[in-house]
Amino acid sequence: MSVWIKNAMLCGEKTDVLIEKDTFSFVGKLKEGQSFTADRVINAEGMALLPAFYNLHCHAAMCLLRGYGEDMPLMSWLEKIWSKEATLTGEDIYNGTRLAVLEMIKSGTVFFADMYWYHQDVLRAVEDMGIRCNIGVTFMDSLGEKTIKDNLAFLDDYASYSNPLITFAPAPHAIYTCSGKLYMRCFDNAEKNNLYFQTHLSETVDEVGNCKKLHGGQTPTQYLHSLQVLNHRTIAAHCVHLTEEDAEILAETEVTAVHNPCSNMKLSSGAFDVPLIKRCGVHTALGTDGCSSNNNLSMIEEMKTAALLAKHAYKKADTLTAKEVMDWATVNGAKAYGINAGRIQQGMQADCLLVDMQNERLVPSWDIVSDMVYSADSSCVDTVICAGKVLMEHRRVKDQEEIVAKARAFVKK
């Protein structure tokens, strides 16, 4: 499959792009009289071409609980959510994940790192939707030994899964739900199978305080470091409450810290320490978290919130610039999962967006990066391409009405 994108604005210049299979094979301006032969031609006159977004932390099917547990601190919220999640079936998870992916595509996201239940049904949904995903298989001690063994066996079986868009990760939930022994079992599985490794880390003040009490004064980062479960394939969500030493550990071990500003603010967890992260050189990406604590999956909104929160919390206008947060949402997210993407360049994976420059939010268009971070919303995104495949054109996604209807049926049930 080949796609020729004609007359798109890229870095202020009209540009032609040829996608062959899943890769940008040409990015530039054709000479007079030149053309491509392609299976599909998209006339992008009046549109800007941008990298797509990578959502590095999400509980996708939780969109079925959007608006269910509101105005509560983390632990109270978790108790309410967990009681409702216990009623979900595999089919619910499938339909909820499809709804989440629909929302992500509509807002320009082509990859998400999920951490949820019923991983077989999550797999079925992401395959149907054609999006990239790292499927995190959730572990907690409370699941019991049989389920833990079954989950580890599943990861063994799917370590060499044939779909290049889909990978898997053992995902021990957090230090307050998983023992050190369980963390090490999960990490050993990741190392054996060359998988990524997801967890929540230092999300709240209480998490840090309780960890210090239980583990000889160690912070959550120090504790996980002592278990030797931090490396370049470790993806740590939240990382709100870090010490200088914590940040240095994350930088040295090449962990990716995932900032989730909307969720952190809604659950009053605190403000991500952007100056500390930048000073220590921690690789950082952006995520939405789940819809029950956000309440949407728009990386556009997440970028704006991250930038504004950093400026407000640290009283400096350039604490987190539009360019920096755009990189967190694009190239940094791709790099964290070893995807050669996040920029519009020849030889890179063809993940991209076309945004409508006639949308009122993008006028007068002094700077497209600033506009996308501070002004745009999902309505600006016209076309979404993932690994060379068009997932949305003119804001239409395949089966979108059916996906919404099935999610609504869950509430009625």
- pLDDT tens string for the chain (413 positions)? 899 999 999 999 999 999 999 999 999 999 888 999 999 999 999 999 999 999 999 999 999 888 887 888 878 877 888 788 888 899 999 999 999 999 999 999 999 999 999 999 999 999 999 999 999 999 999 999 999 999 999 999 999 999 999 999 999 999 999 999 999 999 999 999 999 999 999 999 999 999 999 999 999 999 999 999 999 999 999 999 999 999 999 999 999 999 999 999 999 999 999 999 999 999 999 999 999 889 999 999 999 999 999 999 999 999 999 999 999 999 999 999 999 999 999 999 999 999 999 999 999 999 999 999 999 999 999 999 999 999 999 999 999 999 999 999 987 77
Q: Which secondary structure element, helix H or strand E, spans residue 91, and what is its range?
A: helix 90-106
Is 92 inside any structural domain?
no
Neighbours of 77 (CB within 10 A): 18
Q: Confirm whether 157 is domain-assigned.
A: yes
| pLDDT recorded at residue 307 | 98
Helix intervals (H) in 160-298: 180-193, 205-214, 220-226, 244-253, 261-266, 274-280
Give the three-class secondary structure for 63.
helix
The pTM of this model reads 0.96
364 lies in some domain: no
Separation of alpha carbons 269 and 400, rounded Å: 34
Those residues with Cβ within 8 angstroms of residue 395's Cβ, 6 or more apart along the chain or in another chain? 106, 379, 381, 382
Give the DSSP letter of residue 191: H
Q: Which domain range does residue 295 map to?
A: 53-83+109-336
What is the pLDDT at residue 120?
A: 96
Task: Provide CB contacts within 8 A for 5, sequence distance 6+.
Answer: 16, 17, 18, 19, 42, 44, 49, 354
Would you say 43 and 11 are in contact if contact means Cβ atoms under 8 Å apart?
no
Q: What is the pLDDT of residue 73?
A: 80
pLDDT of residue 76: 86
Looking at residue 83, its pLDDT comes to 82
Query: Could you tell me if residue 345 is inside a domain?
Result: no
Our count of domains for the chain comes to: 1
CATH number for the domain harbouring residue 331 = 3.20.20.140
Helix (H) or strand (E) holding 178: none
Rg (CA), the chain: 21
Residue 20 lies in a domain: no
Sheet of 283-286, strands arranged across: 197-201, 234-238, 256-259, 283-286
Residue 341 domain-assigned? no
The reported pLDDT for the residue numbered 78 is 79
Q: Is residue 98 part of a domain?
A: no
Question: Does a cis peptide bond (omega within 30 degrees of 0) precede residue 364?
Answer: yes
* Cα gap 292→288, rounded to integer Å: 11
User: Does residue 306 form part of some domain?
Assistant: yes
Residue with tokens 């501070």: 374
Predicted confidence at residue 359, as pLDDT, reads: 97
Which pLDDT belongs to residue 273?
98
